[in-house]
A and B are shown apart, each in its own frame.
Chain A
Amino acid sequence: MKRIFIVLLGLVVLTACNGFLTEEPKSEMSVDQFFTNPTHAYNAVNILYRSGCTDFYRTGVYSGSRAMLGGYISGLFDNDYKGQEVHVQHCQDLTLNGDNLSAYFDGAWDACYDAISKANFLINNISQTPGLTDLEINNLTAQAKFFRAFNYYYLVKTFGNVPLILEEYSSLENIYVERSPSIQVYFQIVEDLKFAVEQAVEQGGLNDVAMPKNEFRISKGSAATLLADVYLNMGGYPVLENRYANAASITREIISSGNYSLITNGTTNNKSAFNIMRQSDNKDEYMYSIEYNSSISSSYWQPSICYPSEATSWGIFKYSVTNNAYKPTNEFLWIYDDEKDLRIQEKQFFHSSLTYLENEIEITKTFETAPYLWHDDDALFETGKTDKDIVVYRYAEVLLIAAEAIAKTEGVTPEAIGYLADVRSRAYWQTERNVIVDELTGLSEDDFIQQVWTERLREFSLEYKIWSDVQRTRKYPVTRETNKGTVSFVDVVGHTTIWGKLFNEKHLLFPISENERQRNPKLTQNPGY
C-alpha cells in the first residue's frame, strides 16, 4: 500500500502545473503590446522607409530592378539576361499576362499592400499611443500618409483600379475587397498628400527642406513633388481628371520656397551636374531619395549593371558578375542631340568605353552603351560595395511639371518656358540659356508640351519615368538616327516597337496576377489580359 501511495502522490505533483500550455513569445511582441510606448510609433514609421515600392529601386544584377519594368515594356531598354529573366522577355515581346508573370506581379502587389497595411496600422492607432505629443502625432502621421500615397500611386499607375483599403486587418473579416475605380484611389492619394503637405511646421508638419537636409526623412518638398506628379498624371490617361492647375500651384509653391535648387555644372565635364548626381547623396536638388548604405542596407549590384556581362572577364572589378541590365537601345539614345547635349556625352549619364592599366599597359575596352549614372569607382575597383543613394524625384522634375502644367492651364508663358529652359540649359552646356528660351518662345501649346516631354525623356532617362509618361499621354517617342535630338510623339496604341511588337490598349496597364485573383475572387482582370 505504501508503494501505491507514493505513486499516487507522484501523479498529483505532476498534474499540478498551471499555465503549462500558455504561449509567451519572447523574441516577438504580442500585438496588444504594440503602440504602448511612444517609441513604437517611431519604429512603425521607420519601417515604411524600406517597405513597399521603395524597394523597387534596388537592382539585381540579372533581373534589374522593378522600377525598370516600364523601360523594358517600352522596348527602348534591354537586358542581356532577358532569356532567363522572363519578365524582361515577356515585356519586350508584349506577351506578358497575369499568368506567365504572376509571381512577378505578385511581388509588386504584395510589397505595396504590405507597406499600406503598415501605414494603415500606424495612422489608425497612433492617436491612442500614450506619451506622444500632438505635434509628434501629426509629423509621424504625415510621413505615414506619404508612404501610403506613394504605394497607392504605384498600384494605380501599374494596375489601374485596385482595392482601396484604409483599415488594418486584425482578423479575417472583410478580406475580399473589390477594385475601386482609379479616380477614387487618386482622390485618396491626394487627400493623404495634402495632409502631409499642408500641416504647418508648428503643428508638427514636415520641414520644408531637401530630403538630405531633413535627416533623410520625408520633407514637405518630397510630399509636394509627389503630389505634383500625381496631379499631372490625373490630368492624363486613364482618369483624365484635369488637375493641371493644382499641379501648377503646388510646383510654384515648391519653387518659390527657394529651399530647393538644381545642381550646377562644375568647370569640367567630370564635375558636371550629372557627375555630381552620380557621386553625391546630399544635394538640394533631391526631393525624394532612397538611402543605401553598404553595411546596413545595400544596393549591392547597382554599380555592376554599368558594364556588359563580358566585362567580368577583364578581371578588374571587385564585382564577380556584371550585366548591362538596363541597356538603352540606340533608338532611345537618339533622343539626345549628341552635339549639344552634355547628358549624352561619354561618362555623363552613359558610357561605352573604359580605359585601365594592366601591367602598366593602357587598355581600352569599348562596349554597347551602358548606364553611367550608377557608376561608383570606389565600389567597382576598390571595395565591391556601394553607399550611393537612388534619387526618385529631383527638383528638375518639379520644374518640368511646372512647365507642363502652366502650359496646359495658362499657355506657353515665359514662366513655363523659363522652367524648361532651366533644365535644358544645364544640359546644353555650350548653349546660352537665352538661345534656348528664344527657341522655345512662340511654340504652340502642343509643341511646347512635346518639348517638355522630350526633356523629361532626356533628363530622367535613368530614373524610370518613360513608361509613366507613355501611360498618361498615350504618346510614344519615335526617333531617327538621321535626326538625333528630335523626337516625334505618335499614338502608342497601334505603334510597332523596334522589336516588331504591336502595342494595343491593354499594354497601358499591367495585368493583375492570376494568383491574387484566385485568392480574391472579387478581383477582375484588366481588359485584354
Chain B
Amino acid sequence: MKLTIVILFVSLLQVSTKVYSQGTKFNLNIKNKRIVEVLKEIEESSKYRFFYIREQVNVERVVSIKANQATIDDILEELFKRQGINFQVMEDFLILLSPEDITYIKTNNVQMQKSISGTITDEFNQTLPGVTIYIKGTSQGTVSDSNGNYSISNILKNDILVFSFVGMSKQEIVVSGRTKIDIKMIFNAIGIEEVIALGYGVQRKIDVTGSVGMVDANVILERHSFNALQGIQGKIAGVNIFSNSGSPTGSTRVIIRGMNSIETTSDPLYVVDGVVMENFHLLNPNDIEHIEVLKDASSAAIYGSRGANGVILVTTKRGAKNDEVIISYDSYICVGRIRRKMDLLNSEEWLEVIKRGYENAPKYSQYDDGNYPSISFTDPLLFDSNENPLYDTDWQEEATRTAVSHNHQFSIQQGNEKSSTGAFLNYSDNEGIMLNSWLKRVNAKITYDAKPNDWLGFGINMLINKTWENEIEEGSGYQMPRRTMIEFVPVLPVKFPNGNWSNSSSTNNFALEGMANPVHVLTTQERLRNRKQFFGNTFLNIHILPGLELKTQFGIDNQIAEYKEYSPTDLLNISYPNASADIDIFESMYWQEETFLTYNNSTKGQRINAVLGLSWQERTYRFNSLSTSGFSDDFYKYNNIGAANDPDAPTSGFEKWAMNSYFSRINYSLNNKLMATITARIDGSSRFGENNKYGFFPSAGFGWVISNDDFLTNISFLNYLKLRTSYGITGNTELGTYRSLATVSSGTVLLNGERANYSEVSKLPNPDLEWEKTSQFNIGIELSMFQNRVSAELDYYHKLTSDLLLARPIPHSTGFSSVMDNIGSVSNQGVDFLFTIQNIQNSEFNWETTINLNFNKNRIEELGENDEDIFPGPFWVSGSQTILRIGEPLGSFWGYKRLGTWGLDEAEEAAAVGAIPGVAKRSSEREIIGKGVPDLTGSFINRFEFKNFDFIVDIQFSQGAEIMQQFTHSIEDRTGYSNGLSTILYDGWTVTNQNTMVQQIRNAPLNGQNSEVDDHWVVDGSYIRGSLFSLGYTFKEVVLDKIKLNSCRLFANVDNAFVIHSKDFNGYDPEATSWGENQWGQNIFFFQYPKPTTITFGMNVKF
C-alpha cells in the first residue's frame, strides 16, 4: 500500500503529466504477448519505467499491438483501452498505472464519476438548444434542452465529449474528471480556414473572388463508375456533364456554362496535379483526392488562352502525413441490365404490318388490274404450314446481357514530417450490357514527396494507365448492332437449327434491307482499343525568403493508342464478302515546364498572396494507319493484314504545337472582409498566325464578406454572407495545327490503273489568325444562415465569346469553302445555384439536402461577314440536322414541321404538293424545330446518416432540351425493310384514324417511303432521373477491433433506377448522341447504346 501513498503525494504536488510523453517514438510489432512483457520491452528500449500494483492492474492479459512511430500515450491508450486503467506520465519517465477509481480519489475526492452536465451557449451568450453531445467512440449521447442545458451519465474520466451543431465548429473536450462543462460554441464561418486549389497554388476559400466549384473524393466515388466525370455529374453548379451512352466509358461530354465555340470543342481544360491531361475520362477515379472547377474569368484567367471553356483542376492522392501507414482496399462488383426496351413489333405484329403494306400498295403505285402485289408467308424456314411464324425473336434481349463488372483499388499511404509516399493500384473490369462490349483498366500510381530540410521540397508523381476495350460502334448510320438490335426482324432466329447465323438474306419471303443479325456482329466483329498512358510530374520547391517560395515543375502526358479492327467475311452489309481489317496507331507526347514564385504574407489582418511565373508547353502527335480488305477467310484478322489482297493506301500524319506563357496573380485580402484578385497571363501559341502569336488575358475579381462587417453582426440568423464579382478575358486556342497557313496536301489517285501522286492547295492562309476570346462577367453571393444549417451559393454570369475561331464560309466559287478566321460572337448567360440544407443533425440521425441548378441561355450574336447561316452538320437524311443562325442558340435543329397527315378530305391540297392522303403533311419551309442542349439542369440530392447507416438519394433532372429521334426515319417513316416501332401498327393513319402524326403503312420495297427531317422526329428531352440510391453501413469500432480493421464500410447502390421522360420519346435514354465528338450532335441520335440500370455491392476497408 505504500505505493498508493506515493501516488497520492505525487498528484498533490500537481505535477504536469504531459511534458514528457511526446518525445520518444516507438515502433512495436507484438503478437500475442502478455502486457507485462510488452511493458518490459518498452522499458528496455526507452527510459520509461512503469509503476503499478499487481493486484490492481491485470498485466497477464495477452495482447497484440502494432505501432509505427507511436508515442507512449498512443501505446498505453491502446493497451489499456476501456480496461479501467489510468496511466500518468510523470517526471523522470516514470509512468504510473492505476485503476481509475484511485485517480478519482486523487483528483476529485469522489469514488466514481456518474454524470456530467453543463450549459451550451453561442458566441453571443445565447443558450443553444439542440446541440448534439456524445461520448466519442460510442453511441452514447444526448441533446441539449430548450435552455441549452444537457446532462449525460456513465462517464469515464478520460472520455472525450463531442459537441456538434449545424453551422458550428465541432468541439471535442476531454472530461478529465470534471462534472460540469459549459461550452461556448463557435460559428463555423464557412471556408475561413478551408483552402482550395486554384492553379499554381492554393488560396483560403474566403479570399477567393472567382467562381469555383468543388467536389471531394467521397462524393465522386458515391457513384461507382469507370469514368470520374460520371461521378461528378450533377454535383457542381454550372457544370453540365452529358453521359451519352451506356457503354463502359459512358461517352461523357462536359460543357461548363454553355457552349462558347463553333469550330472548336467545348471541352474544358483538364489539369491533373498541375499538368494538362488528355482523355481524362480514362483516368482512375479512385486516384482522385478532389476536383475544383474554375468557372469564371477571375479563376480561369490564370490559364489564359486555354481557359475559356473552364478548367477542371484535379488533385490526386499522395502519401500520408502524421506518421501513419494507411492501407486501404476498396472494391465493388456491379450488375447491369437494360433499363427499358423500345416498344417494337413482335412477329405477329410485324407480319400484320407487311400484310397491310401489300394491301395499301395499289394506292402508292400503279398496277395493272388483277396484277396487284400479294404476299403469303410460305418460307418453310420461318413459317409453319398455317403461315404462322416459327420464331419471335426479341433482338433487344438477344443482343444485350446482364453485365457484371468489378473494380479493385489497393493503396498504401505512409509518411512523416520529412517524406511521404503513396502507392495506388487499380484494376477495373467492366462489361457493357451489349454483348462482347468490355473495357478493362490497370492503373498504377506512385507518389513520393520529401522535405529534407526547411528550404527544400521535392515531389514526384508517376502514373501508368493501360486500358483495353472492345468498343461497340456508337456512331454512323449503317447496319451496325446498335441499329439492328432494333431493326432486325423478329421472324428470324439468332441461329437456325443447322447452326447458321441468320441474316436478312436468309429468307426471300420479304424484301429486307441488307443486314447481319446483331448477335452475329457483336459476337464476331472486333473493335479493339488498347491505350497506354504514361503521366507524371515532378517538382522542386525552394523556400527563398520568408513568405517567398519558388516552385518549378515538369510534367508529361504520353499517350499511345492502338486501334485494331476486324470485320469478318460473312457480315452482310458490313464486311461481306471481303472482310476488312484496320490498324491505327496514335501517339501524343505532351510536356510542360512551369516555374513560378509564390509570395505569401499576412500582417494585421492583411494578407497578400502573389504568384508570378512562366510556362513552356509542347505537344507532338503522330498517327499511322493501315487498312485492308480482301481476306479469303477469317483466320488472320489484323494479326496479318498482309494476307489480304486488297490493301488501301497507308496513311500517316504528324503535327506539333507549342506554347510559351507568362502569368501572374495577386490576391489581397483585408480583415477577412474585403478581397481583390488580379490575374494576367500572356500566351504565345504556335497555332496562330504570324502576325498574332501572343495574346494577353487579364481578369480582376473583388469580394466582400458582408457578414464580417459590423453592421451585420447583429443579424443573428446570418452566419456568413459574401458578395463577389469578377470580370476578365480567357481564350481558346483549341483548333488544329497549321490552320493559319496555306498548305498543299498530297496523296494518290487512280490513273491508268495505278496510283498516281497528286498534290493540291488545300487551304487559304490567314496570317492574322488569333485566339478566341471570352469575356466573362460574374457576380456571386455566398450565404450561410441559421447556424449554417442553410447555405447557398448563387452566381450569375454573362459570357461573350468573340473573334470565334470559325471556318468562315467564303464563296465556294473561290475553290475553298472557308478560311479559318476570327469572326462572329456567341453569348451565354446563366445562373449557377447551389443550395444545401441540414434538415436534421444529431448523434443518431443526420439529413442533408443539396439542390444544384444550372440555367444557361445561349445565343449566336454574330456570324461571318454576311451573317450567313451555317450548316455545321451532323449531315444525315435531308442534310445538316442543325443550323447556326444569328439570334438562335448554337445547335438548333433544322427541319420541317409535321403538321399531321393528309386527310381524305384534303386530297386536292395534298396533290398540289405531290402528296396523297395518309402521308405526312409538312410545312413548306424548313425552320428551327428544337435544340439539343438544355436550359436547365440540376440535381436534388439527399444524404441521410442513421447510426451506422448512410443513405443517398440522388435525383437529376434536365429541362428545355429536345431530342431528335433520327431513328424515326427507318423504324416508323419507312416500313417493310426492317422491324419498327409498334406505333406503325397502332397509331398509323387509316381511314378511321386520320388525325395522327404517324403515316399510313406503306411497304417501302414496293412503294417507297416518305421521310424527311421534321418535328415529328423531335420530342421534348426533359427528364428526371433516379441517378443513384446508395445504402452504406459503417462498422462500429467494437466490431472492427474484433476483426482487426481500422475502418470498414459496406454499401449497395442502384444506379439509374428510373427515368421519367416525355411519353413521346421512343428511345432508351433521353440523354445521348450518336454523333460522337460532333459539337452539334447532342441529343441527336440514330440509335443508342442502351444505358443500364446497375446494382453495385462494394466495400471500403482500411487496415
| Chain A residues at the B interface, C-beta cutoff of 8 Å | 3-4, 7, 10-11, 14-15, 17, 20-31, 33-34, 39-40, 42-44, 46-47, 49-51, 80-84, 86, 89, 92-93, 95, 99-100, 102-104, 106, 109-110, 113-114, 116-118, 120-121, 162-163, 165, 168-172, 175-177, 215-217, 291-297, 308-315, 318-321, 383-385, 499-501, 515-516, 518-521, 523
Instruction: Check A216/B505 contact, CB under 8 A, given A3-B542, A118-B761.
Output: no
Chain B residues with Cβ under 8 A from A40's Cβ?
759
Assess whether A93 is in contact with B877, with CB atoms less than 8 Å apart. Answer: no
The answer to the question of B748 belonging to the interface, with a C-beta cut-off of 8 Å to chain A, is yes
Instruction: Check A84/B751 contact, CB under 8 A, given A14-B614, A23-B687, A93-B914.
Output: no
Min CB–CB distance A398 → chain B (angstroms): 23
- Complex A-B: 18 CB contacts under 8 Å: A14-B614, A15-B614, A27-B654, A80-B1004, A83-B1010, A92-B914, A169-B814, A172-B819, A295-B648, A309-B511, A313-B507, A313-B510, A313-B511, A315-B508, A515-B809, A515-B868, A516-B812, A520-B813
Nearest-neighbor residue (CB-CB) of B1002 within chain A: A83
**Chain B count of residues within 8 A CB distance of the other chain:** 110
Assess whether B578 is in contact with A385, with CB atoms less than 8 Å apart. Answer: yes
Assess whether B1012 is in contact with A23, with CB atoms less than 8 Å apart. Answer: no
Instruction: Check A170/B815 contact, CB under 8 A, given A43-B758, A46-B757, A320-B573.
Output: no
Chain A residues with Cβ under 8 A from B913's Cβ?
93, 95
Assess whether B505 is in contact with A110, with CB atoms less than 8 Å apart. Answer: no
Assess whether B815 is in contact with A114, with CB atoms less than 8 Å apart. Answer: yes
A215 to B752, CA, bound (A): 5
Assess whether B974 is in contact with A116, with CB atoms less than 8 Å apart. Answer: no
Assess whether B576 is in contact with A320, with CB atoms less than 8 Å apart. Answer: yes
Assess whether A320 is in contact with B515, with CB atoms less than 8 Å apart. Answer: yes
Which one of B43-51, B735-743, B790-798, B832-840 is at the interface? B735-743
Assess whether A116 is in contact with B751, with CB atoms less than 8 Å apart. Answer: no
Min CB–CB distance A296 → chain B (angstroms): 4
Assess whether B811 is in contact with A520, with CB atoms less than 8 Å apart. Answer: yes
The answer to the question of B789 belonging to the interface, with a C-beta cut-off of 8 Å to chain A, is no
A313 to B751, CA, bound (A): 36
Chain B residues with Cβ under 8 A from A82's Cβ?
1008
Assess whether A25 is in contact with B507, with CB atoms less than 8 Å apart. Answer: no
A39 to B746, CA, bound (A): 12
Chain B residues with Cβ under 8 A from A383's Cβ?
577-578
The answer to the question of B994 belonging to the interface, with a C-beta cut-off of 8 Å to chain A, is no
Chain B residues with Cβ under 8 A from A89's Cβ?
914
A321 to B511, CA, bound (A): 10
Chain B residues with Cβ under 8 A from A103's Cβ?
871, 875, 879-880
Chain B residues with Cβ under 8 A from A109's Cβ?
812-813
Assess whether A297 is in contact with B513, with CB atoms less than 8 Å apart. Answer: no
A309 to B1008, CA, bound (A): 10
Among B511, B762, B866, chain A packs the most CB atoms within 10 A around the CB of B511
Chain A residues with Cβ under 8 A from B504's Cβ?
312-313, 320
- Which residues of B in the span 836-882 have a Cβ within 8 Å of any Cβ on A? 864, 866, 868-869, 871, 875, 877-880
Min CB–CB distance A345 → chain B (angstroms): 22
Instruction: Check A292/B750 contact, CB under 8 A, given A320-B514, A321-B573.
Output: yes
Assess whether B741 is in contact with A95, with CB atoms less than 8 Å apart. Answer: no
The answer to the question of B369 belonging to the interface, with a C-beta cut-off of 8 Å to chain A, is no
Instruction: Check A43/B757 contact, CB under 8 A, given A170-B764, A293-B750, A312-B512.
Output: yes
Assess whether B815 is in contact with A25, with CB atoms less than 8 Å apart. Answer: no
The answer to the question of B550 belonging to the interface, with a C-beta cut-off of 8 Å to chain A, is yes
The answer to the question of B213 belonging to the interface, with a C-beta cut-off of 8 Å to chain A, is no
Nearest-neighbor residue (CB-CB) of B659 within chain A: A21
The answer to the question of B686 belonging to the interface, with a C-beta cut-off of 8 Å to chain A, is yes
Assess whether B758 is in contact with A47, with CB atoms less than 8 Å apart. Answer: yes
* CB within 8 Å: A-B pair count: 292
Nearest-neighbor residue (CB-CB) of A382 within chain B: B577
Chain A residues with Cβ under 8 A from B911's Cβ?
500
- Which residues of B in the span 904-920 have a Cβ within 8 Å of any Cβ on A? 911, 913-914
Report, nearest first, the 8 A-B pairs whose CB atoms are least far apart.
Answer: A117-B815, A320-B514, A310-B511, A320-B573, A315-B505, A518-B868, A93-B914, A520-B811
Min CB–CB distance B865 → chain A (angstroms): 9
Assess whether A20 is in contact with B550, with CB atoms less than 8 Å apart. Answer: no
- Which residues of B in the span 437-496 have a Cβ within 8 Å of any Cβ on A? 455, 479
A384 to B646, CA, bound (A): 12
A47 to B757, CA, bound (A): 8
Assess whether B509 is in contact with A46, with CB atoms less than 8 Å apart. Answer: no
- Which residues of B in the span 553-589 have a Cβ within 8 Å of any Cβ on A? 572-574, 576-578
Chain B residues with Cβ under 8 A from A46's Cβ?
749, 751, 756-758
Nearest-neighbor residue (CB-CB) of A322 within chain B: B514
Min CB–CB distance A423 → chain B (angstroms): 29
Min CB–CB distance A303 → chain B (angstroms): 13
Min CB–CB distance A165 → chain B (angstroms): 6
Assess whether B744 is in contact with A120, with CB atoms less than 8 Å apart. Answer: no
Assess whether B812 is in contact with A296, with CB atoms less than 8 Å apart. Answer: no
Instruction: Check A20/B616 contact, CB under 8 A, given A11-B595, A168-B815.
Output: yes
Q: How would residues 652 to 686 of chain B score, 1 for a CB under 8 Å from any chain A CB and 0 otherwise? A: 11111111100000000000000000000000111
The answer to the question of B1005 belonging to the interface, with a C-beta cut-off of 8 Å to chain A, is yes
The answer to the question of B1009 belonging to the interface, with a C-beta cut-off of 8 Å to chain A, is yes
Chain B residues with Cβ under 8 A from A104's Cβ?
879
Chain A residues with Cβ under 8 A from B660's Cβ?
17, 20-21
Chain B residues with Cβ under 8 A from A310's Cβ?
510-511, 1005-1006
A383 to B757, CA, bound (A): 27
Assess whether B748 is in contact with A296, with CB atoms less than 8 Å apart. Answer: yes
Instruction: Check A106/B812 contact, CB under 8 A, given A30-B744, A291-B750, A384-B576.
Output: yes
The answer to the question of B817 belonging to the interface, with a C-beta cut-off of 8 Å to chain A, is yes
A304 to B452, CA, bound (A): 76
Assess whether A171 is in contact with B1008, with CB atoms less than 8 Å apart. Answer: no
Instruction: Check A28/B811 contact, CB under 8 A, given A89-B914, A515-B869.
Output: no
A227 to B784, CA, bound (A): 84
A450 to B974, CA, bound (A): 43
Assess whether B810 is in contact with A14, with CB atoms less than 8 Å apart. Answer: no
List 5 additional contacts besides A117-B814, A165-B813, A383-B578; criterion CB under 8 Å: A17-B660, A28-B762, A29-B759, A318-B576, A519-B864
Assess whether A321 is in contact with B513, with CB atoms less than 8 Å apart. Answer: yes
Chain A residues with Cβ under 8 A from B577's Cβ?
318, 383-384
The answer to the question of B274 belonging to the interface, with a C-beta cut-off of 8 Å to chain A, is no
A27 to B745, CA, bound (A): 8
Chain B residues with Cβ under 8 A from A175's Cβ?
810-811, 814
Chain B residues with Cβ under 8 A from A215's Cβ?
751-752
Min CB–CB distance B511 → chain A (angstroms): 3
Assess whether A519 is in contact with B749, with CB atoms less than 8 Å apart. Answer: no
A268 to B743, CA, bound (A): 56
Chain B residues with Cβ under 8 A from A315's Cβ?
505-506, 508
Among A7, A23, A33, A80, chain B packs the most CB atoms within 10 A around the CB of A23
Chain A residues with Cβ under 8 A from B658's Cβ?
20-21
Instruction: Check A27/B655 contact, CB under 8 A, given A216-B753, A515-B871, A518-B868.
Output: yes
A291 to B657, CA, bound (A): 40
Chain A residues with Cβ under 8 A from B880's Cβ?
103
Instruction: Check A291/B810 contact, CB under 8 A, given A34-B759, A118-B760, A309-B1005.
Output: no
Nearest-neighbor residue (CB-CB) of A88 within chain B: B1008
A266 to B816, CA, bound (A): 49
The answer to the question of B136 belonging to the interface, with a C-beta cut-off of 8 Å to chain A, is no
Among B550, B649, B871, B925, chain A packs the most CB atoms within 10 A around the CB of B550
Assess whether A11 is in contact with B614, with CB atoms less than 8 Å apart. Answer: yes
Assess whether A516 is in contact with B811, with CB atoms less than 8 Å apart. Answer: yes
Instruction: Choose among B505, B572, B573, B1005 the residue that contacts A314 (Cβ–Cβ < 8 A).
Output: B505
Assess whether A34 is in contact with B758, with CB atoms less than 8 Å apart. Answer: no
The answer to the question of B324 belonging to the interface, with a C-beta cut-off of 8 Å to chain A, is no
Assess whether A519 is in contact with B737, with CB atoms less than 8 Å apart. Answer: no
Instruction: Check A39/B514 contact, CB under 8 A, given A120-B815, A175-B811, A313-B509.
Output: no
Instruction: Check A519/B646 contact, CB under 8 A, given A30-B744, A291-B751, A312-B504.
Output: no
A93 to B757, CA, bound (A): 44
A81 to B745, CA, bound (A): 36
